[in-house]
Structure 1
Amino acid sequence: MTSKDRVAYFYDGDVGNVYFGPNHPMKPHRLCMTHNLVLSYELHKKMEIYRPHKAYPVELAQFHSADYVDFLHRITPDTQHLFANELTQYNLGEDCPVFDNLFEFCQIYAGGTIDAAQRLNNQLCDIAINWAGGLHHAKKCEASGFCYINDLVLGILELLKYHARVLYIDIDVHHGDGVEEAFYFTDRVMTVSFHKYGDMFFPGTGDVKDVGEREGKYYAINVPLKDGIDDASFTRLFKTIIAKVVEIYLPGAIVLQCGADSLAGDRLGCFNLSIEGHAECVRFVKKFNMPLLVTGGGGYTKENVARCWTVETGVLLDTELPKEIPDNEYISYFAPDYSLKSQSKNMENLNSKTYLSTIKMQVFESLRCIQHAPGVQMQEVPPDFYIPDFDELEQNPDERVGRKLNSFK
């Protein structure tokens, strides 16, 4: 019998007070609802609760370009009319609006993921949770898909200081494109994304054929799915693929993005997972007993997001929660049945057994290609990781490496 996992949980009440706008699907208020539900089930007594530090601009610039970070720092709703060119350049607008306290919001959720990674690195906990994090679409020089700063990339960079290989798993309904892109050329991070794939569905990337390039070839895994996938199909595929990935890749730490927009009935989603099905993926990953960083992500039906992440907090604490929701500040949101359960819908599953079997075979083929690759045999942890610039081949190699390593000290 192993001793209980030490779980660290990061939360700052200010993160739920920002407002993307009246018609915007992203409602950070869902984080207050989640936290309130976690407290009402008294889960806070079983873990260490921390208020994250606000990430400094220099920390955000470990991945993002300094000019982009500086722009986010300066822009406000009152001054945005002066920055028409920059708004276009950095992709701020309808999907990624400028709102009050935008930069502080980014500092809090990114700070939570960085702090979570540091606690894991220093072996101060076994599992670290930041439900405010998981904003997987943000790119090096631009906002995308409601995401401004990619906290996941920053957290993974932190973990790479202590671990030779990090596994990133994403169960959001949208493809984890920002994280995949950041690590597309390296074998030190394997990204595995389960998502809806189609021309008309954001972000339109994540084909099973996209497997990484150069040193990163076969280290990006995409599991493209169709509408209506249910618990049985999803969890079977998830467990089969993740078990094989862990066996072959041997990561030192795992980052799990638990976007709740893959739940049935999500305002922007099209999958048919129940909370139980979603949580089963978390339960499965926990069983590997590796340093585990867990974040939120998408999720646009607030009461289901709060239910889901509370149940998953319970899973990470090995605690079964009573289905009847205790009285709390947001109890009216959970009417009429005040239950923790969410049902899947009566919805056609467009993922045939043949289709899922084909996807699985293609993924396994990629994994076979790396099974005997030297990168996987690494014993020593290399120096702090840096992300190659796309134009580095043109530069003098000695200058390039020296400059990069200095910039990360």
Structure 2
Amino acid sequence: MLSHVAYIEDDSLTAICSNIPNVKDRGKLVHRLVEAYGLFKFMKIFPVIPASRDDLVSFHSQSYVDFLFEANEWSDFEQREDDQLEYGLGYDCPLFKNIYEFASLVAGGSLTAAKVLVDGDAQVAINWCGGWHHAQRDEAKGFCYVNDIVIAIHKLRERFDRVLYIDLDAHHGDGVENAFSFSPKVMTVSFHNYDLGFFPCSGAINEVGFGAGKYYSVNVPLKDGVTDEQYSWLFTGVMDLVKTVFRSDAIVVQCGADCLTGDPVGTFNLTPHSLGVCVQKVLSWQQPTLFLGGGGYNITNTAKCWTFLTSLMVGQNLSSDIPDHPYFLRYGPDFDIEISVGLRKNNNIPSDLKKIVDMISTNLSQIL
């Protein structure tokens, strides 16, 4: 069994995350399923230390943080609509009451997890309420109001010189990549859908970073219908290359579950087993590692997935039968932890996937 696994669990963070309609109650389902399987006893549980304004401006602009602070108590969100639009607040990121408190808690969850690793209190830290990878320095984007990942990476770099960031979400991790696109100290690797019109319409294989950070951004663009076997093969091939050229001191993994089959916004055929292959490979490197949530809009499938991944981190096997607990009825009619393989048409041709690995190999060879 792996020892020294930390888990962030805080009622305030879980409750306030329910303000995002697309993931309402998701945190509660995840935590209670992890608890129902008895996994808490194999981990150290840490409450959230809210992020300070100084923590938030370690990445976000002062003006954006000030706006969130000012808007925290608003009740009429139609006022100052022009200012809201300036900061990306509208459409997919609607303003809501206690928005600053939300940002402080979301960032604080991942900061708390990162601090656990920095202080050496655990080798693995988990924050399933984190992973908001689209937020930019001065605007909200794609359901993401604060980029807890970038802020957590800054905290990790207080102790760990080189940080590897891996993004498994169905969507390109654009906010994190943009934050470090000029840095050779943080390598970002994103596996995502890159079909025409798929949000955020970035993450092509030739997007490799800039200046001193050129070739430290790695993108793995995929098409609809990728399978567990293809995804596992790609992850192994790409990450073996990455590990050879980028000798990381710590790792951050965003485990967005919208890459799973059955997700209302995802287009892949994946089950949690391929994500499990990815997680186990990262764990085998035995480096301080922060695991985060992210997308995942089929709420019960996301809870199943993250509970399964948690079980791998603590070295426990799960019964296929969902245990009785307050949210048990949400898992009907089968009440099974397994997720069936998707049947969406697979547009990923093996020769194209090999070309992706070959091109990444060529790009990475430039920094040897």
> Normalization by structure 2: what TM-score?
0.97
Shift of residue 20 of structure 1? Answer: 4.2
Q: CA deviation at 1:160?
A: 1.1
Matches within 5 A, 1:87-236: 87-236=84-233
Following the alignment from structure 2 to structure 1, what is the Cα–Cα distance between the partners of residues 211 and 184? 9
| 2:290 alignment partner, SS class | strand
1:327 match:
324
Q: CA deviation at 1:27?
A: 1.4
For the pair 1:14 / 2:12, whether they are aligned, the reply is: yes
Q: Once the two structures are superposed, what CA deviation does each residue of 1:312-334 show, in whole Å capped at 9, x if it has no partner?
A: 11011011111111001111110
Structure 1 position 245 matched with structure 2 position 217: no
Cα distance in 1 for residues equivalent to 2:60 and 2:95: 18
Match of 1:84 in 2: 81
Question: Hey, what does 2:2 align to over in structure 1?
Answer: 4
The 8 Å contact of residues 13 and 48 in structure 2, kept in 1 or not, is answered as: no
Say if 1:230 and 1:271, in contact at 8 Å, map to a contact too: yes
Match of 1:273 in 2: 270
Distance, in Å, in 1 between the alignment partners of 2:217 and 2:74 is 38
Matched residues in 1 for 2:151 and 2:196: separation? 29
Letter in 2 for 1:136: H
State the secondary structure of the residue aligned to 1:307: helix
1:25-45 deviation line (CA, Å, top 9, x unaligned): x21411110000011011110
Contact 1:53–1:115, Cα closer than 8 Å, also in 2: yes
Identify the residue that residue 51 of structure 1 maps to in structure 2.
47
SS in 1 for 2:78: helix
- Deviation of 1:125 after TM superposition, in Å, equals 0.5
Local SS of the residue matching 2:102: helix
Check the 8 A contact 2:195/2:224 in 1, yes or no. Answer: no
Aligned residue in 1 for 2:306: 309
Residues 75-100 of structure 1: CA deviation (Å, up to 9, x unaligned) = 15523222112111001011001123
Aligned residues: 366
2:65 to 69, 72, 82: 69
Q: How big is the shift at 1:167?
A: 0.3
SS of alignment partner, residue 81 of structure 1: coil
SS in 2 for 1:364: helix
Alignment map for 1:391-402 (pairs within 5 Å) = none
Query: Could you tell me the TM-score, scaled by structure 1's length?
Result: 0.87
Q: Is the 8 A contact 1:116 1:128 kept in 2?
A: yes
**In structure 2, how many angstroms separate the alpha carbons of the residues matched to 1:351 and 1:15?**
38
**Structure 2 residue ranges without an equivalent (≥5):** none
Runs of 4+ in structure 1 displaced over 3 angstroms? 18-21
Distance between the aligned counterparts of 1:48 and 1:83, measured in 2?
44
Q: Distance in 1 between matches of 2:327 and 2:149?
A: 29
Deviation at 1:17, TM superposition (A): 2.7
Distance in structure 1 (CA, Å) of the matches to 2:61 and 2:2? 40
Note the 1:24-39 alignment, pairs <5 A: 24=21, 26-39=22-35
The residue number in structure 2 matching 1:259 is 256
CA contact (8 A) 1:12 1:51 kept: yes
> For residues 4 and 226 of structure 1, what CA distance do their matches in structure 2 show?
35
- 2:38 aligned to which of 39, 42, 48: 42
Is the CA contact (8 Å cut-off) linking 1:17 and 1:28 kept in structure 2? no
Q: Is the 8 A contact 1:37 1:328 kept in 2?
A: yes
Report if the CA contact (8 A) 1:175-1:193 is conserved: yes
Counterpart Cα distance in 2 of 1:88 and 1:350: 36
8 Å CA contact 1:169–1:257 kept in 2: the answer is yes
How far apart, in 1, do the equivalents of 2:193 and 2:105 lie?
A: 29
SS in 1 for 2:155: helix
| In 2: Cα distance, 1:358 partner to 1:34 partner | 37
Larger-gyration structure (1/2): 1
Q: CA deviation at 1:354?
A: 1.0
CA RMSD of aligned residues (A): 1.2
Asked if structure 1 preserves the Cα contact closer than 8 Å seen for 2:194 and 2:204, the reply is: yes
Partners in 2 of 1:342 and 1:105 — Cα distance?
31
**Partner SS for 1:80:** coil
Identity of aligned residues (%): 41
Amino acid at match of 2:164: L
By how many angstroms is 1:14 displaced?
A: 2.5
Amino acid in the other structure paired with 1:152 = I
Once residues 331 and 6 of structure 1 are traced to their aligned partners in structure 2, the CA distance between those partners, rounded to angstroms, is 29
| Alpha-carbon contact 1:143-1:149 (below 8 Å) kept | yes
1:384 maps to none
What is the CA–CA distance in structure 1 between the aligned matches of 2:218 and 2:3, rounded to whole Å?
A: 29
Q: Deviations over 1:163-188 (max 9, x none)?
A: 12100000000000000000000100
